[in-house]
Structure 1
């Protein structure tokens, strides 16, 4: 994906052998290839041209997916139903409810772009900069992350904004991370894997901090998992967890996130006993540090219940504990994230399965 122009060039070279003769080839280039190249050049060369194109496609998908939810609403930023310039419709897909949170992707992107530009102009410290950068993926109203195809559209918006920066520029590295996360959120797992592999290679090449390397490895392991490369995901998750534990300590958010990912990989491979041991150690820390309402805490609680009810050797008490845990977690997720959030939906499905498993176990 990031080498799109090189791929296009190789494809053109490969096709050269299929022409009748040089006249045929030149005629094709005169009528088609040159026009494509002109559009690419006007669009800021290959990466920028591709990013702009993909962004427009992603916005169209997001608007269509949100059409029913946004009917009759207006953007909370520009107060219009249709964007004044792009004529795009509205999206939401955060945790806002009622009449709150409707916006145009273009408005959200422009808002984030302005905030980041101000942070750079004022040389804000990392913590203040990161808080502004979150506007590329977090709703400023409900303070929760966007998800699904809206997150994907924002990922492309972010990438097209900073793709022209030098490779060593912080915002370009951050933008690549946003793009990978957005593609992953929209279930474009193969594309996300390509971006995340490129991101990790770039960070290693630039010699960024160990903290940033661990974050990139954690994201990459999620892509491995979704692509069915479970053993690779487990190995990387293990390395990221123990690396984070050593570097940041047990109470840091990156360590707790890594612990969740590690236990998820263990559960994927049906190593439930190991998952339960780790969760019994880390879940109380997450509840103390991040609170019951924290997204990682909610996810870890769901994983703990899954490790209980999916274990073939689960006892009646463990199955009852799994159901009770999921009932409490479902209420929290619905209150914090909303009923339409994918995390809430996942916990609801887990609760249904846990109840079925308990009922089957308790039946005569």
Structure 2
């Protein structure tokens, strides 16, 4: 995670925090700084300073660790292949191996994390140097998290490694710089992609605190709140997630951005379902799914996510009728076909949906056979993330 705790006692840092005058290592006070110096920091101080300070030093270290994990995880899939960017098997400088964590299939989409990061860095730098519109800059920023070939988001260990790459690239910029804040977002999402949710929570809370302190735009604040709500949900703090998502949905309605409103509605429904408020979730999805189809199209990820959430609210409800269960299975089957076509069968989003489909079918079979105990068992084993 980023450095939000005292290097000596691990207590949350105040703002502004006490720091080493040489390497910028942060402390909650002078006593901790002295203790850390006497405890060995003086031997590392020069090395940390040489890399640009404590935050860049930490980012570089975490980035290297994340790349190693990603290459090892992708080794079987990338054996004997070459990078689509530099055309080499091993990176010329870092000697790292290849990864792939998008929706590309076959031999497409294989690359070095370093090459992906350099590509994203160059594209965004060009947009800044040429003073291109924010829309163009935002499109180029997508290379930090989505594949230039299949245009789908990276996931898992590759998303995490790119999150650290992004953060180490822009961590040295001023706090108010847009790219630095966006890099913090990428880091938080990358940590969540490998289930490091507590670390992602620390990043998200720090980002939201910074935005509020600096007077960030309503759009940026709502985006960070939405990501933070996802993290709350993943670590079991569902009530806090619901509260944030309700605020985000209300805020998006005022800003009038159709895609953002629909995404906020989808996330809000997820939190309602997690707290077993299924009728509210179903009502919200029935109102917004047709809008998503009309605005975004049938195969858009938000539309697919809404259909999946709607089906989940149908089959996880204790009061579901036989027709509800049949509708849930049909909806998941149709959504699964589109997900498989867009993302491929190996993508986590496709696999997550198919797990939900298997459980929905199990509940339907049990209900059709009037096996009440089987229905109860099937529902008991479900979690909101299964569908």
Once residues 2 and 184 of structure 1 are traced to their aligned partners in structure 2, the CA distance between those partners, rounded to angstroms, is 14
Once residues 64 and 224 of structure 1 are traced to their aligned partners in structure 2, the CA distance between those partners, rounded to angstroms, is 30
1:265 match? 271
Q: 2:207 aligns with which of 199, 204, 208?
A: 199
1:7 match? 7
1:108-139 per-residue CA deviation (whole Å, 9 max, x = no partner) reads: 00000000110000111111010001000010
Tell me the TM-score normalized by structure 1.
0.93
Q: 1:83 aligns with which of 86, 91, 100?
A: 91
Once residues 308 and 5 of structure 1 are traced to their aligned partners in structure 2, the CA distance between those partners, rounded to angstroms, is 43
Once residues 71 and 369 of structure 2 are traced to their aligned partners in structure 1, the CA distance between those partners, rounded to angstroms, is 48
**1:245 shift after superposition:** 1.2
Once residues 107 and 5 of structure 1 are traced to their aligned partners in structure 2, the CA distance between those partners, rounded to angstroms, is 32
1:63 matched to 2:71? The reply is: yes
**1:361 shift after superposition:** 0.4
The answer to whether the 8 A contact 1:275-1:307 is kept is: yes
1:22 match? none
**1:212 shift after superposition:** 1.0
The answer to whether the 8 A contact 1:4-1:46 is kept is: no
Q: Which has the higher helix share?
A: 1
2:57 match? 49
Once residues 5 and 103 of structure 1 are traced to their aligned partners in structure 2, the CA distance between those partners, rounded to angstroms, is 35
1:352 match? 358
Name the SS for the 2:103 alignment partner. coil
The answer to whether the 8 A contact 1:299-1:343 is kept is: no
The answer to whether the 8 A contact 1:66-1:91 is kept is: yes
2:244 match? 236
**1:247 shift after superposition:** 1.3
1:221-280 per-residue CA deviation (whole Å, 9 max, x = no partner) reads: 11111111111100110110111012125xx11111111110000110011110000000
**1:7 shift after superposition:** 2.2
1:276 matched to 2:270? The reply is: no
1:126 match? 134
Structure 2 CA distance for partners of 1:214 and 1:16, relative to 1, 3 Å: closer
1:299 match? 305
Once residues 248 and 212 of structure 1 are traced to their aligned partners in structure 2, the CA distance between those partners, rounded to angstroms, is 14
**1:14 shift after superposition:** 5.3
List alignment gaps of at least 5 residues for structure 1.
18-24
Tell me the TM-score normalized by structure 2.
0.88
1:20 match? none
The answer to whether the 8 A contact 2:4-2:206 is kept is: no
**Which moves more between the two structures, 269-278 or 296-305?**
296-305
Written as runs of structure 1 = structure 2, the 5 A alignment for 1:85-104 is 85-104=93-112
1:282-328 per-residue CA deviation (whole Å, 9 max, x = no partner) reads: 11111111111111111111111110000011111110000001111
1:188 match? 196
Q: 2:115 aligns with which of 87, 95, 107?
A: 107
**1:5 shift after superposition:** 7.6
Once residues 289 and 341 of structure 1 are traced to their aligned partners in structure 2, the CA distance between those partners, rounded to angstroms, is 25
Once residues 261 and 355 of structure 1 are traced to their aligned partners in structure 2, the CA distance between those partners, rounded to angstroms, is 24
**1:13 shift after superposition:** 5.1
Once residues 160 and 10 of structure 1 are traced to their aligned partners in structure 2, the CA distance between those partners, rounded to angstroms, is 21
**1:4 shift after superposition:** 5.6
Query: How many residue pairs end up in the alignment?
Result: 352
Name the SS for the 1:7 alignment partner. coil
Once residues 152 and 269 of structure 1 are traced to their aligned partners in structure 2, the CA distance between those partners, rounded to angstroms, is 29
Once residues 341 and 4 of structure 1 are traced to their aligned partners in structure 2, the CA distance between those partners, rounded to angstroms, is 33
Computed over aligned residues only, the root mean square deviation of the Cα atoms, in angstroms, reads 1.8
Name the SS for the 1:302 alignment partner. helix
Structure 2 CA distance for partners of 1:212 and 1:78, relative to 1, 3 Å: same
1:256 match? 262
